[in-house]
Amino acid sequence: MRIGIVGAGASGMAAAIEAARCGAQVTLFERNTDPGKKLLSTGNGRCNLTNTRMGSFAYNCADPSFVDSVLARFGAEDTIAFFRELGLFTHDREGYVYPLSDSAAAVLKCLVLGLRKAGVLLLTEALVKDVKQVPGGYELTFTQEGESRVERFDRVILSCGGMAVPKTGSDGKGYYILSKLGVLSNPPTPALCALYVKKPLEKAAGVRAAGRVSLWSDRVCLGSDAGEIQLTDYGISGIPVFTVSRHAAIATEGGHYVEARIDFLPEVSEEEWQAEFDRRVASANGETALEVFSGVLHEKLLLCALEDAGVDAEMQISAPAGEELSKLQGVWKLLRYRKFRVLHAADFAHAQTSTGGVSLQEVTGDLELRHYPGLFLTGEMLDVDGICGGYNLQFAWSTGILAGRKAAEGGSK
Ligand SMILES: Cc1cc2nc3c(=O)[nH]c(=O)nc-3n(C[C@H](O)[C@H](O)[C@H](O)COP(=O)(O)OP(=O)(O)OC[C@H]3O[C@@H](n4cnc5c(N)ncnc54)[C@H](O)[C@@H]3O)c2cc1C
């Protein structure tokens, strides 16, 4: 059984090792000079390779049962065992699994050694341009050393990735190759990325604060997540913003008005919050407004709230009433709650993954295209995107292993 795999990223390398271990003769095509370029930058160079809290809850997709079925056949425990077998020790930080060395390079090294030991032929600087169905298999057309070549395989696995960080090699070429076969992809948008907003809190740029961000459009809450939010000079970032960013990208690209609402103190009840205001204001005896409200959040956020509510930070407060009291109430509200109009999500170059891709309806549970027996898809080629926490790599390993295994068996032919 000759198998051609396009793309030596996370899912392509997993597929190649598995298929070769199952006895297939495997050629792995990679357009870059080296495999796994994106893998090196994962988890800030530490590679969060999976998560022990695993399930379809962590993925955006049209068919959660599909994802659960994939994870049931190759899940987090299997990933840890797969890498242990390749020589990699891992450790678990509250469910987030990293290499013990905290080095993405170590993960890549183990995979590359695994490819070599399994006897996979790795062709680098080999850009696949076309896949053509021929009797009994597929022909891959690729360029290498300036020459165009054609090679025939019994089975082909496309592991070209999505659109995030195109300079790592995943630039949507896989979707284009498939479109020539009549297999269409849902349009990709950036995901797991920062959001650009109108009137960012420029003076609080660099501040990190715990909070909950909720995304609203047309009176519908598109998504919500809590954690450390980062204020930037262009908008908002941080893990909870990354989680909801896909919804913002899709909605803003569709021309919808999108609002991000932040609650910096989601665990404090309205009553407690109001009582705290009343207490501070009642006991104020000539302190400045800055002093009256200090100690709640980062001072830069307080200064932004004072400015936006039109209150002089140095104004002395004693028994405020009337307009003065309502302005101070406004400061208190802005200190806790912030609303931003979202202009757009960051671009693909600054996103960790992408939405869109080939619909799950197009493939069998073994990742084989229904209309093209013997042609398999893995990882971000499919319309599934995970949240932060090792979920996207887990989907890449799972789909790679299952596709590699099935392709080596001979697909559904
Ligand atoms: C900065 C960053 C940090 C991340 N951190 C994490 C993390 O810690 N945990 C996590 O779970 N996920 C993380 N991700 C997401 C994760 O890296 C991806 O979801 C995963 O790599 C997708 O695997 P893939 O095999 O589908 O595609 P990729 O890993 O993107 O691999 C695709 C490969 O195919 C090659 N290719 C494409 N087209 C062709 C062609 N026509 N011919 C030949 N080769 C081709 C590309 O060069 C590339 O090597 C991160 C992503 C980024 C960008």
Q: What is the pLDDT of residues 116-151, one digit of tens each?
A: 999 999 999 999 999 999 999 999 999 998 999 999
Average pLDDT over residues 202-229: 97
Read off the pTM.
0.96
**Which pLDDT band, with edges at 50, 70 and 90, does 29 fall under?**
very high
13, pLDDT greater than 70 = yes
With beta carbons less than 8 A apart as the criterion, state whether 397 and 79 touch. Answer: yes
What average pLDDT score do residues 52-76 get? 98
Task: Mention every residue, 6+ apart, whose C-beta is less than 8 A from residue 115.
Answer: 8, 13, 16, 17, 20, 28, 35, 122
- In this structure, the residue with its CA closest to atom 21 of ligand 1 is 10
pLDDT confidence bin for 264, thresholds 50/70/90 = very high
pLDDT at residue 412 tops 70 = no
86-119 per-position pLDDT tens digit: 999 999 999 999 999 999 999 999 999 999 999 9
d(CA 313, CA 291): 8
Whole-number Å distance between alpha carbons of 187 and 183: 13
Residue 411 has pLDDT above 80, yes or no: no
For the chain, give the mean pLDDT: 97
- Hey, which of 42, 51, 103, 179 would you mutate to test ligand 1's pocket, going by the most ligand atoms within 8 Å of its Cβ? 42
The whole-number pLDDT of residue 391 equals 98
Determine the pLDDT at residue 413.
38
Ligand 1 geometric centre to CA of 24 (Å): 24
Question: Confidence class of residue 285 from pLDDT cuts 50, 70 and 90?
Answer: very high
C-alpha span between 229 and 262 (Å, rounded)? 9
Check pLDDT > 50 for residue 243.
yes
Asked if residues 223 and 212 have their Cβ atoms less than 8 Å apart, the reply is no
Whether the per-residue pLDDT at 410 is higher than 70: the answer is no
Contacts of 2 by beta carbon, 8 Å cutoff, 6+ apart: 24, 25, 27, 137, 152, 153, 154, 155
pLDDT at 322: 94
Which residue among 37, 70, 108, 392 is best mutated to probe the pocket of ligand 1, counting the most ligand atoms within 8 A of its Cβ?
392
For residue 16, is pLDDT > 50? yes
pLDDT at 257: 98
State the number of CA atoms in the 13 A half-sphere of 292 facing the CB. Answer: 32
Binding site membership of 389 for ligand 1 (Cβ less than 6 Å): no
Q: Which of 38, 144, 193 to mutate to test the pocket of ligand 1 (most atoms within 8 A of CB)?
A: 38
- The pLDDT > 90 percentage for the chain reads 98
Residue nearest to atom 31 of ligand 1 (CA): 9
CA distance 147 to 136: 26
Give, for 91, the enclosing helix (H) or strand (E): strand 90-93
Instruction: Work out whether strand 147-153 and strand 137-144 pair parallel, antiparallel, or are unpaired.
Output: antiparallel
Domains in the chain, CATH or no CATH each: 2-189+354-409 (3.50.50.60), 194-345 (no CATH)
pLDDT tens readout for residues 325-361: 999 999 999 999 999 999 999 999 999 999 999 999 9
